[in-house]
A and B are shown apart, each in its own frame.
Chain A
Amino acid sequence: MAEAEESRAGGVFAGLSDVSISEDIPVEGEITVPVGSHSPDEDYSTLDEPVKDTIMRDLKAVGKKFVHVMYPKKSSALLRDWDLWGPLVLCVSLALMLQGGSADSKEDGGPQFAEVFVIIWFGAVVITLNSKLLGGTISFFQSLCVLGYCVLPLTVAMLVCRLVLLASSGTVSFIVRLVVVMAMFGWSTLASTAFLADSQPPNRKALVVYPIFLFYFIISWMILTFTPQ
């Protein structure tokens, strides 16, 4: 756009102004170089950059997606460049926090790390398959990405629950935990629905939302019933 204004204002291209375009018809549009032609060069040149740059770029992308989840607007950033780093980090931290119990007690204080991991990923795969079978236009990994990132509110709820349990473990703490978990559960479901429901035919949104609801319900149940040893 800036270039168009410059060329109209004067300089080298002033002579062309009287060819066809009159002054009162606004010329609109973007004169930008398409991004696609840059990417092979970029990929090639990222081999030489310091590791810190690569890691910071990935971390920034993950952080930006976290922000998108916490304030779910209808943006397509989460879908456009999906990555599975964020879901992996969230899943691992949630599973570690749900581990509870000390290793030397003869029973475990909660679900094993592997169980939480498997449940989250298996549940996400089932929901993705379901949405694809219902005629969704979103790809497999995009859907996994969205579902994984929307576990973020529940991870925050888990942190809060652990802190509350450190303080006390009576009825009051249970009520506080219940309210927090339910609020975060609603947030997760709304966030993932905002991203995923658009890719479905309009009259089948309810069919896709329901398994997401169940999935986050089971994760919330695991968080709520967690008591450390």
Chain B
Amino acid sequence: MAGAEWGGFEDNLQGGGSAVIDMENMDDTSGSSFEDMGEMHQRMKEEEEEDVDAEAAAVDEEDGEFLGMKGFKGQLGRQVADQMWQAGKRQASKAFSLYANIDILRPYFDVEPIQVRNRLLESMIPMKMINFPQKIAGELYGPLMLVFTLVAILLHGMKTSDTIIREGTLMGTAIGTCFGYWLGVSSFIYFLAYLCNAQITMVQMLSLLGYGLFGHCITLFVTYNIHFHSLFYIFWLVIGGLSTLRMVAVLVSRTVGHTQRLILCGTLAALHMLFLLYLHFAYHKVVEGILDTLEGPNVPPFQRVARDIPVVASAVLNTTAKAIALTL
């Protein structure tokens, strides 16, 4: 629904040189004052042309220099006013198109809470019907809220403990990671879909991947509060797997050809599952690394300072000597 219909509206907004014509063709009445100005502009132009003709005719008969100066001044004044009017109009149309950009996003946010709830639940249920293209809702409210929720969960996972938490550096990485994943992987899969002739638009891909983050949110929320690695693996397989299967099924239903299906769905599945693994393990490590480097006196068991070479060397020598003595 979303993509093609709004393309025409966008074309109208690409105001080129002839700003007057664009404004008059717009349906919004907010341009009405500009239509009046446009008419004034036309009238001014006609008057100018008349004046120029009259002056050109009069120049031959009367004192050419005197009238030429007057005509020139009149013309200069008109030109300056004209330029100011053009510049002001350009500014106004730029501002209008900037505001209208928000309106372009408006249909993607036209949802009811019930619909959002249903889509959240459906994102965990893979549909078996792959012979007919499955419907994807092209809305951006749910995915955007899910990305922000994921950011909040990542920050919440850094619990208070005796160590001092530098949340300043964590905030930027959390936001960057989540938004980077959502936008970057969506674009990448959209590009692959373009190569593999899959029928999916960018907004639909953003929406699909965004709702796929719901499984990630649940998993991380639970496993950050209950610290069992085996529990995490179960959640990773079950919940991560379900949401990945749903996305894969939707993509398969919209792609033709075995190789293309394999490429597209394999990539998406790998990236989605690996991202959850990364968030649980490596993100922790990144955070612990930051915490470790910032904690001076509390030396963690894994030493990150350079060890004294002689100590290590002598320890190595001792153990090798013992080993050799044992074998002899």
Interface contact tally, CB-CB below 8 A: 68
Alpha-carbon separation in the docked complex, A210 to B110 (Å): 16
* A110, A203, A210, A229: the one within 8 Å of B112 (CB): A203
**Interfacial chain B residues near A214, Cβ < 8 Å:** 145, 148-149, 152
* Binary CB contact string for chain A from 203 to 229 against chain B (1 if under 8 A, 0 otherwise): 110110011001001100110110101
The size class of the interface chain B forms with chain A is: 20 to 34
Judge if B141 is at the interface, Cβ distance under 8 Å. yes
Please give the distance in Å from A41's CB to the nearest CB on chain B: 28
Alpha-carbon separation in the docked complex, A134 to B108 (Å): 9
Alpha-carbon separation in the docked complex, A135 to B166 (Å): 38
Alpha-carbon separation in the docked complex, A108 to B148 (Å): 26
**Interfacial chain B residues near A109, Cβ < 8 Å:** 164, 166
Using known A-B contacts A133-B106, A207-B141, determine if residue A115 contacts B168 with beta carbons closer than 8 Å.
yes
**Interfacial chain B residues near A132, Cβ < 8 Å:** 102
- Name the residue of chain B whose CB is nearest to the CB of A174: B160
The answer to whether B145 and A134 have CB atoms under 8 Å apart is: no
Alpha-carbon separation in the docked complex, A211 to B145 (Å): 7
**Interfacial chain A residues near B105, Cβ < 8 Å:** 133
* B102, B112, B158, B294: the one within 8 Å of A225 (CB): B158
The answer to whether B171 and A119 have CB atoms under 8 Å apart is: yes
Judge if B111 is at the interface, Cβ distance under 8 Å. yes
A side interface size, CB within 8 A: 30
Judge if A186 is at the interface, Cβ distance under 8 Å. no
Please give the distance in Å from B137's CB to the nearest CB on chain A: 15
Interface residues of A (CB under 8 A from B): 107-112, 115, 119, 129-130, 132-135, 174, 203-204, 206-207, 210-211, 214, 217-218, 221-222, 224-225, 227, 229
The 5 closest A-B pairs by CB, nearest first: A111-B168, A133-B109, A206-B113, A107-B294, A225-B165
Q: List 21 A-B contacts (CB under 8 A).
A: A108-B168, A111-B168, A119-B171, A130-B141, A132-B102, A133-B102, A133-B106, A135-B110, A203-B113, A214-B145, A214-B148, A217-B152, A218-B151, A218-B152, A218-B155, A221-B152, A221-B155, A224-B160, A225-B160, A227-B160, A227-B165
Besides A129-B102, A221-B156, A227-B165, 19 more A-B contacts (Cβ < 8 Å) are: A110-B166, A110-B168, A111-B171, A115-B172, A130-B141, A133-B108, A133-B141, A134-B110, A203-B112, A203-B113, A204-B112, A206-B113, A211-B145, A214-B149, A218-B155, A221-B152, A222-B171, A224-B160, A225-B160
